[in-house]
Amino acid sequence: MRLAATTAILLTLGLGACVTSTPPPPRSEAPDLSFLTGGRVSGPELAARIRKASAFPLGSRDNPVRVNMPAGQRAYLERLRCSNGVRPTYGRVGSFGAGVFGSIIDGYRLVCADGGQPAESLIYMDMYHADHYETAAPPGFTIIGRAAQP
């Protein structure tokens, strides 16, 4: 009875073409978003990719800095120093799609003040490496101490 009343109202309003008795198609399976939560390559495949990436400068798109989640990104960036010993200012530029390790990489713009070098850099980071703590610095920077892992 309700369907008939609704149909009558829609027909009165000129919306009869919108009414259908066909059920909606079944919902498709949810897309695979595992790469967002660390569904990257692992084991021997990851080790092979790390070896290959090490041929490129750390922090480049071909060898992003491996860290543990956003807190790991910030902790790593806080440990970097410019040529004058000053911590660079930084800000996230955005996501840059899947990187060499199979997960999404982020880009950070770093700026060295007071004549520090490099004056400006773009550092790529892959935050889906819970078991890795980076101790090296990208070209032009140094890194201090071993801060507590987030």
pLDDT tens, position by position, 42-77: 889 999 999 999 999 999 999 999 999 999 999 999
More confident residue, 43 or 142: 142
DSSP type of residue 37: G
Residue 38 has which token pair?
A: 């660390």
pTM of the model: 0.72
User: With the C-alpha atoms ordered 52, 55, 58, 63, is the resulting torsion angle positive or negative?
Assistant: negative
Q: Which residues contact 2 (CB under 8 A, 6 or more apart)?
A: none
Domain parsing of the chain, residue ranges: 59-143
